[in-house]
C-alpha cells in the first residue's frame, strides 16, 4: 500500500502544479479520485495539492516526467518496453529501472530507442448516445457523430474512431458504443475542455504509447515468455517512481 500511496501523492502533486491547484481541472480531479481509490488519507491528499500549488516553497521537490526505453529478450522474441516515471531524483530512478531490466534478463536502451515503433498520443473515451446536453435520443447516429467531431477537432483531435461491439477494436469492458479520440499529448487538456463545453461525458482520458503498426510491430508471447514479462511488470510496479509501463507484447489465448 505504501508504494500505491506514494505514487498517488506524486500524481496529485504533479497535476496540481500543472493546473495551479484549480480544483475544476479534470486531471487533478482524476488523480484525487485515484488516490481515494487506494485509500490515501485526506491529509496526504491536501498536502500533495499544497506542494504542487506552491512550487517556490517546495522547490526542492520538483517532479520531472521521465521515459526509459528497454528490451526484454524472451523465447518468443524481444519485447520492446517503454517505462514512464515521475521523479525528484533522475539518477535514482534511472538506476532502479536499469536494475529491474537487468534482473529480468533485459537491458535499458538509449533515450528514444523505440521512437520508430510507438506513437505517443493523448486519448479520450466518450460514450455515444448521450453526447450533447439535451440529447433526446432522436438525433441520428450520423448527426451525433458529426456534432462530436466538431468539438473534437476544435479541441485539437487528430483522429476520432467510433466503435460498437460489432467492431474488432471494441473494448469489451465498455457498455455500449463509444468514441475513441486521439490527439497530441500536449493538446489533451484543450481537447478535454472542448468536449466539456459540448456537454460530453468523459469516461476516461490519458496519454499513452501505442504501437504504430499492430500487424508488424507486436510480438505474441508463449506462457513462459508471459511469465518473464509479468516479472518485469511486477518489479516496475513496486518502484515508487514508475508510473506506467508500455510494451508491444500480445498474450496468446489458449
- Over residues 162-178, the mean pLDDT reads 86
Distance of CA 162 to the CA centre of its chain: 20
Tens of pLDDT, residues 185-209: 999 999 999 999 999 999 999 999 9
Asked if 246 contacts 67 with a C-beta cutoff of 8 angstroms, the reply is: no
Output 1 or 131, whichever has higher pLDDT.
1
At 62 the pLDDT is: 81
Q: Does residue 88 surpass a pLDDT of 50?
A: yes
At 131 the pLDDT is: 43
Q: Does residue 87 surpass a pLDDT of 80?
A: yes
Asked if 179 contacts 141 with a C-beta cutoff of 8 angstroms, the reply is: no
At 9 the pLDDT is: 92
Tens of pLDDT, residues 11-24: 999 999 888 899 98
φ, ψ of residue 162 to 5 degrees: the values are -95, 125
Asked if 63 contacts 14 with a C-beta cutoff of 8 angstroms, the reply is: yes
Q: For a pLDDT cut of 70, what percent of the chain falls above it?
A: 93
At 254 the pLDDT is: 43
CB atoms within 10 A of CB 109: 15
Tens of pLDDT, residues 128-162: 975 444 444 556 888 899 999 999 999 999 999 99
- Over residues 224-246, the mean pLDDT reads 95
pTM of the full predicted structure?
0.85
Amino acid at each position: 500500500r505504501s508504494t500505491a500511496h506514494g505514487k498517488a501523492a506524486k500524481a496529485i502533486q504533479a497535476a496540481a502544479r500543472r493546473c495551479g491547484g484549480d480544483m475544476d481541472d479534470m486531471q487533478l480531479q482524476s488523480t484525487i479520485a485515484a488516490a481515494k481509490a487506494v485509500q490515501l488519507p485526506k491529509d496526504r491528499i491536501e498536502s500533495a495539492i499544497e506542494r504542487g500549488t506552491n512550487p517556490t516553497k517546495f522547490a526542492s521537490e520538483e517532479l520531472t516526467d521521465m521515459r526509459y526505453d528497454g528490451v526484454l529478450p524472451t523465447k518468443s522474441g524481444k519485447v520492446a518496453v517503454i517505462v514512464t516515471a515521475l521523479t525528484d531524483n533522475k539518477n535514482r530512478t534511472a538506476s532502479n529501472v536499469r536494475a529491474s531490466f537487468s534482473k529480468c534478463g533485459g537491458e535499458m536502451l538509449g533515450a528514444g530507442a523505440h521512437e520508430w515503433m510507438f506513437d505517443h498520443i493523448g486519448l479520450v473515451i466518450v460514450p455515444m448516445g448521450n453526447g450533447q446536453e439535451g440529447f433526446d435520443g432522436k438525433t441520428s447516429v450520423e448527426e451525433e457523430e458529426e456534432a462530436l467531431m466538431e468539438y473534437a477537432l476544435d479541441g485539437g483531435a487528430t483522429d476520432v474512431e467510433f466503435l460498437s461491439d460489432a467492431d474488432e477494436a471494441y473494448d469489451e469492458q465498455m457498455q455500449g458504443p463509444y468514441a475513441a479520440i486521439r490527439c497530441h499529448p500536449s493538446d489533451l487538456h484543450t481537447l478535454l475542455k472542448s468536449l466539456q463545453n459540448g456537454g460530453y461525458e468523459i469516461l476516461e482520458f490519458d496519454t499513452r504509447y501505442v504501437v504504430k503498426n499492430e500487424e508488424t510491430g507486436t510480438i505474441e508471447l508463449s506462457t513462459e515468455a508471459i511469465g518473464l514479462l509479468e516479472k518485469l511488470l511486477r518489479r516496475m510496479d513496486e518502484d515508487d517512481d514508475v508510473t506506467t509501463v508500455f510494451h508491444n507484447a500480445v498474450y496468446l489465448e489458449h
